[in-house]
Structure formats: structure tokens, C-alpha cells
Amino acid sequence: MTNRLINLLWIGIFIGVAACSTATSTPLVPTAVIQPPLISPTAPPETRLLDTLPPPQPEVMSSTLTPSIVTPKTTHEDWFYTSPDGQWTVQVSAEFPIAADGSLSGERYRLTLAVFRKDGGLRWDVLDEERPFGLGYTLPAQFHWSKDGSQLFYTEHGIPDGNPTIVGFDCGLYRVNLQSGERTQLSGDCGLLRAAGDGETFAALQGNRLLIHNMAGQVVREIAFTNLLQLDNESGWQAGGLVWSPENGRLAFSVLKNIQQPAEIHTSFVLVDLLSGVVRYVAENRAGQYLPIEWGEGDTLLVVDAFGLRYRLNIRTGEISLGE
């Protein structure tokens, strides 16, 4: 028992010493490891400078607008004419500028004229040019041929604005040598111009005069026909459609009267005999507009009206019938 008391005494002493040590000692302060910040609270100088600039804008692709080239609207027309022997073809091509409503509009048009053999042996490009619009326009027309087929003749035919008749007007007579392609101007006069089939003379009907020229342009004969046809006291008439006979001894043309009133126009046909000098009507006062375009074999004229219909006129009887 004495030993147990001694042990209890020692335990009490140890507990008291421990209690005193705890009450008087300085508490332990834990040591902390400070990590550097992941992001600096003060931006570097270059970053601060960028912060003062406006925010970047998305890049805009700049494009230069190229004005589109607007090609003017045009209409293309072709006309073909065949020689009497069927060996040659004339092609007239024109390209006209047009407005939105389809009417001809513009300052210039393009024109080409070519003549070529049916068998492909020869081709002559006679014209290829731009022409100005005036009070209408002109086209090569009134094509006719020498009897031997070696020469082509044509005029510059005017199509004026507002023309009341189908006559139009011609200015200039031209010859194309079909062996060389050479083009020659025989006359620069205006009127009805037509070369004879023998290729040695040409006729020009100008106003109240009918003139016969040689190929050098010299006048070899003049025929005043208005008094013979009693036209001197009439003002509302116009001659048109001058043609030669196959033997080159006669000429025919038409006279349109009352041209101031298109609905009242009527046509008479005239025959001129160069050997006798006789000028006379072969048919008179047919209602409508008609022009001779060719003198056929014998005494028959090929005639066309304002609608493009073709007729045959017998100059002996004056009878006219619808053609083929």
C-alpha cells in the first residue's frame, strides 16, 4: 500500500509541472510559405499602353467597285440579192443601236457589203464601216448587173424619217468590178440612178430631167419629160423605180401622185423610148404605191408595192397581175 501511495504522488507531481508549463509558455506561430501571384496586379508598361488604345476593330476587306461595261443593245439585219444568172450573191449587213422600246436609237450604225460567188470561188468585201445617223440612214441598194455578169452596180439608198412614200432617195452610183473587187464611184449626184446592162451608160432622173451619162460622167442626152406627161402644173408627185430595158433602148419608171395624202396616192407608169424620143404613160392612176424594180424578158415589168407584194405589168396592154 505504501508503494501505491508513492506512485500516485509522483503522477500528481508530473501533472502539476505539465500544467504550469502550458500556462506560462509562448504559443507557437505556424510558418507559412507565400506563393507569388499568378497574375501581376500591375500590368507591364507595354500592356498599359495598349490598354489606352481603342479596342481593335475587325478587319474589313475593302473592295474597289469596278463599273460594269454596259454593251449597247443592237439589232442585226441582213439582206441578200442574187445576180440574174444565179452565180453571185450580194450580202448587206447592218447593226443598229436600239432603245429599250426596240426603236432605232443612237448616233452611229455599222454596215458591211460583200459579194461572193455561189461556188465559193471569189469573195469581195466591198464595205466595212461605221456610219452616222442623220435624218434617217443610208444602205447600199438598187443592185443591178451588167449583162455579161462582170460588173455590179448599186446606189446609196436613203431611208429618211417620216417619208410618206416608198421611193426614198438615192445619192451616188457605184460600180464593182467582179474580177478585181475594185469599187468606183460613177456619180455623186442624187436622184434615181441606174446603169444600162451594156455597162456603157447610166441614167439619172433628177426632178423634171432625165439625163443619160457615159461612164466618164459626161451627159450625152437630156430628156425633159414633165411637159410631155402634163406634170408641169402639178406639185404633189414623185418619180421612182427607174429601170432599163434588156436591149438598152428604153427606160421605164413610175410617177406617184397626191403624195401629200398617203391614203390617196395613186401610181402611173411611164415608158421612155430613147430611139424615138417618145415619152408616154402605159398605165395610169392605179390606187396605191408601185415601183418597177426590173425589166423582164419581152415587154414585162416586175413591180413591187408598198407591202412588198410583186406584180407583172404588161407595157403593151397596161394590164397588171399578181406575180409569182
Dump pLDDT digits (tens) for 211-270.
999 999 999 999 888 888 888 877 788 888 999 999 999 999 999 998 888 888 999 999
Model confidence at 24: pLDDT above 70:
no
Dump pLDDT digits (tens) for 46-76.
334 334 445 555 554 444 555 555 556 888 8
Tell me the residue range of the domain where 266 lies: 227-324
Is 120 within the bounds of a domain?
yes
160 and 260, same domain (yes or no)? no
pLDDT of residue 228: 83
Choosing from 224, 252, 271, the residue where a domain stops is 224
211 and 115, same domain (yes or no)? yes
Structural contact between residues 150 and 176, judged by C-beta atoms closer than 8 angstroms = no
Dump pLDDT digits (tens) for 113-127.
999 999 888 999 999
Is 12 within the bounds of a domain?
no
208 and 244, same domain (yes or no)? no
Among 32-46, 54-68, 181-195, 208-222, the minimum mean pLDDT is found in: 32-46
Total number of domains constituting the chain: 2
pTM as predicted: 0.72
201 and 76, same domain (yes or no)? yes
